[in-house]
Structure 1
Amino acid sequence: MPLLARTVTTPLAIEVRRGALAELGTLLHDRRISGGGDVAVVVGPGQGERIAELVRPSLGNADMFHICGGTVDSAMDLSQGLRQRNYDAVVGIGGGKTIDTTKYAATRLGIPMVTVATSLANDGICSPVASLDLDGRRGSYGVQIPLAIVVDLDFVENGPDRQTQAGIGDALSNLSAVADWELAHRERGESIDGLAVALSRSGAEALVNHPGKIGDDAFLTTLAEALIMGGISMAVAESSRPASGGCHEISHAIDHLFPGTGSHGEQVGLGALFCTYLRGDQERFAQLGACLRRHGLPVAPGDLGLTDQQFGLAIAHAPTTRPDRYTILEHLAMSPAEIETRVEGYADALRDLVG
């Protein structure tokens, strides 16, 4: 009998609203994740104590773990702490470093993990990948996607605007990543997953067309959903393909050549706009550029403090960061002189966009 359907792993629950953190125990109970609140709650620095106080009333049997996340070592230390008793689930509360550290530790021990995001800086809130440092170098590690995802808009709104702007750039870059995947499918016969494409692109399309601002609940909800769908698309594809193309290669190259330049979201947003220019998609270029500008994200190398020459060096280096990935950068295989010409043309296109 032919296989007519497939099983897709997705979170049991997704909640994006204000006040969600204080009702975490009810959510875990109602979704049969933890009836008695026997969970490990992992919080990071900064708002950790405030968060712990909010969740304690609804999670009386929980153990609190305070970490400084972001590294494999911190994830291994957390793993050791989680061995002290049997937990129904591990709840990671905070930003990207705390969540990625928790995802890694929970996956290592085979314990279900719940994400409670207090910022929307990247798609790590749902992705099957943990970005952690090891010996001073950033690496990506495969993990299980969360069993449930909660986004508390009260915390997102009170956080730095730059974190939300980074999330916008990360979500919008999916438009370029999907275009690169489709290019690889046409040119090289690379296998493509239509469901993963639909999830990734539809979330980004909703965001790029949304008229709201970063302080609006409706816009923040759309951003959260776009990041979540991007993460699920990677789980469906069993690859980062639907959310990582030439845009991410450029960002990795900037990190390598000019560390500390900008946030991940800022860099991939700029990379996505440049790759869209390279593809000659003028309508998408205008749409994406207008959205990035509207939300205060970089659109030119100078917005990140890079010269055109430095940006050109990053473009030249970008394909080496993912030798197995075929994007518009590999397709054009530009020489240094061609890169210089394209960067000049990109600057002209940005000026036309303003006009």
Structure 2
Amino acid sequence: MPLLARSILTPLHIDVRRGAVADLGAILSDGRISAGGDVAVVVGPGLGEKIADLIRPSLGSADVFFTEGGTLDAANDLGGKLRARSYDAVVGIGGGRTVDVAKYAAMRRGLPMVSVATALANDGIASPVASLITDGIKGSYGVHIPIAVIVDLDFVDSGPERHNRAGIGDVVSNFSALADWELARQVRGEPVDGLAASLARAGAEAVINHPGDMTDDDFLTVLAEALISSGLAMAVCGSSRPASGGCHEIMHAVDTLFPGTASHGELAGLGALFCTFLRGDERRLAQMSACLARHNLPRQPADVGLTHDQFAEAVAFAPRTRPDRYTILEHLDLAPAEIRGRLADYAGALDDLDNLDD
């Protein structure tokens, strides 16, 4: 009998709106995730106390756990605390670090996890991946995809604008990641999942073509949905391929060599733009550059405080961060001197694009 369809794991509930955190009890009940509110709520520093106070009226039976640091140790410590009693689900509320700690701890305990994002910094809000720090190095760990994904635009709106804008860079980097995936198919015969690619590309196209900005609820909703689509794309194909290529190799390299330089999304967008230049895709380079510039995101190494030599060092180191991944960086296999030369050409190309816009 031919296989006519396939089953894929997706969240049971997706909700992007204002006031979602305050309605969390009703959302969990209506979604048949927890009728009585017997959940473990995980919050981070900063907004943690405010969030805890906000959810208590609707989740009186919940236990609230505080975490910080975004480390593997913190996730394991939380996993131990979850043994205290039986829970219907783990609810991670906050930014990427808090959500990733909750994801990993929930997986270790075999519990469903609800992701409640208060920021739009990257696509981790809905992905089957937890980025956690161990021994000072950030690593990626496979986890179960969240059973529900909720984005509260009230918290997004009140958060640091730079932090939220970074999510645009992460979404835009999908274009480069997908081009790297196609390159791997052509050169190495690596299979490409068309559904995963479509989900990742659709979200990126929606963001890059939207005329709004971070003050516009419509744009925030499109950005949130694009980040969720990226997470779903990774779940569909079982890897980060549709949203992570040479762009993320560069991001991880910068994080390793020059920690604290910039956020995940800022570096992913910058890396994607440089990889697109290396690929010679002038049309996409112009589109991506215009989008990043319009949203005040980094396009040059100096925009994140790096010299050209430092960025070139990171590009040379980048393939070591994902030894199994084939991207434009592995394909070109540029020597350090060649990278510096391409970087100078890249700066000139962006100047030319800016002059055309003027």
Q: Is the 8 A contact 2:137 2:256 kept in 1?
A: no
Q: Measure how far apart 1:100 and its partner are.
A: 0.3
> SS state of the match for residue 130, structure 2?
strand
CA distance in 1, matches of 2:251, 2:121: 15
Counting only pairs closer than 5 Å after superposition, residues 134-173 of structure 1 correspond to structure 2 as 134-173=134-173
Counting only pairs closer than 5 Å after superposition, residues 197-276 of structure 1 correspond to structure 2 as 197-276=197-276
- 1:176 is matched by which residue type in structure 2? S
Residue 313 of structure 2 aligns with which residue? Answer: 313
Q: Measure how far apart 1:294 and its partner are.
A: 0.5
Q: Deviations over 1:274-310 (max 9, x none)?
A: 1111111111100000000111100011111111111
CA distance in 1, matches of 2:217, 2:171: 17
Matched, 1:3 2:36: no
Q: Deviations over 1:102-152 (max 9, x none)?
A: 000000011111011101111111111111111222111110010001100
Where does structure 1 differ by over 2 angstroms across 4 or more consecutive aligned residues?
A: none
Q: Measure how far apart 1:336 and its partner are.
A: 2.2
- 2:292 is matched by which residue type in structure 1? L
Counting only pairs closer than 5 Å after superposition, residues 84-123 of structure 1 correspond to structure 2 as 84-123=84-123
Q: Measure how far apart 1:49 and its partner are.
A: 1.1
Bigger Cα displacement from structure 2, 312-321 vs 115-124: 312-321
Q: Is the 8 A contact 1:44 1:68 kept in 2?
A: yes
- 1:344 is matched by which residue type in structure 2? A
- 2:269 is matched by which residue type in structure 1? G
Q: Measure how far apart 1:69 and its partner are.
A: 4.1
> SS state of the match for residue 146, structure 2?
coil
Q: Is the 8 A contact 1:19 1:153 kept in 2?
A: yes
Q: Deviations over 1:212-240 (max 9, x none)?
A: 01111111111111111101111111111
Residue 340 of structure 2 aligns with which residue? Answer: 340
Matched, 1:195 2:218: no
* RMSD between superposed Cα atoms in Å: 0.9
Q: Measure how far apart 1:192 and its partner are.
A: 0.8
Counting only pairs closer than 5 Å after superposition, residues 52-71 of structure 1 correspond to structure 2 as 52-71=52-71
Residue 295 of structure 2 aligns with which residue? Answer: 295
Q: Is the 8 A contact 1:127 1:232 kept in 2?
A: yes
Matched, 1:281 2:281: yes
- 1:82 is matched by which residue type in structure 2? L
Q: Is the 8 A contact 2:123 2:228 kept in 1?
A: yes
What is the TM-score normalised by the length of structure 2? 0.98
> SS state of the match for residue 84, structure 2?
coil
CA distance in 1, matches of 2:331, 2:228: 30
Q: Is the 8 A contact 2:36 2:61 kept in 1?
A: yes
- 1:222 is matched by which residue type in structure 2? V
Q: Deviations over 1:51-75 (max 9, x none)?
A: 1111111111111111224011111
Q: Is the 8 A contact 1:26 1:58 kept in 2?
A: yes
CA distance in 2, matches of 1:117, 1:321: 27
- 2:192 is matched by which residue type in structure 1? I
Q: Deviations over 1:235-292 (max 9, x none)?
A: 1111111110000111111112222211111111000001111111111100000000
CA distance in 1, matches of 2:118, 2:166: 14
Q: Deviations over 1:23-53 (max 9, x none)?
A: 1111111111111111111111111111111
- 2:119 is matched by which residue type in structure 1? S
CA distance in 2, matches of 1:249, 1:68: 26
Q: Measure how far apart 1:81 and its partner are.
A: 1.2
Q: Is the 8 A contact 1:69 1:75 kept in 2?
A: no
Q: Measure how far apart 1:22 and its partner are.
A: 0.8
CA distance in 1, matches of 2:255, 2:71: 17
**Structure 2: stretches of 5+ with no match in the other structure:** none
The percentage of aligned residue pairs carrying the same residue is 67
Count matched residues. 355
Q: Measure how far apart 1:79 and its partner are.
A: 1.0
CA distance in 2, matches of 1:159, 1:228: 19
CA distance in 1, matches of 2:10, 2:217: 24
CA distance in 2, matches of 1:315, 1:135: 23
What is the TM-score normalised by the length of structure 1? 0.98
Residue 21 of structure 1 aligns with which residue? Answer: 21
- 1:345 is matched by which residue type in structure 2? D
CA distance in 2, matches of 1:269, 1:150: 24
> SS state of the match for residue 230, structure 1?
helix
CA distance in 1, matches of 2:149, 2:89: 13
> SS state of the match for residue 7, structure 1?
coil
**Structure 1: stretches of 5+ with no match in the other structure:** none
CA distance in 2, matches of 1:113, 1:349: 45
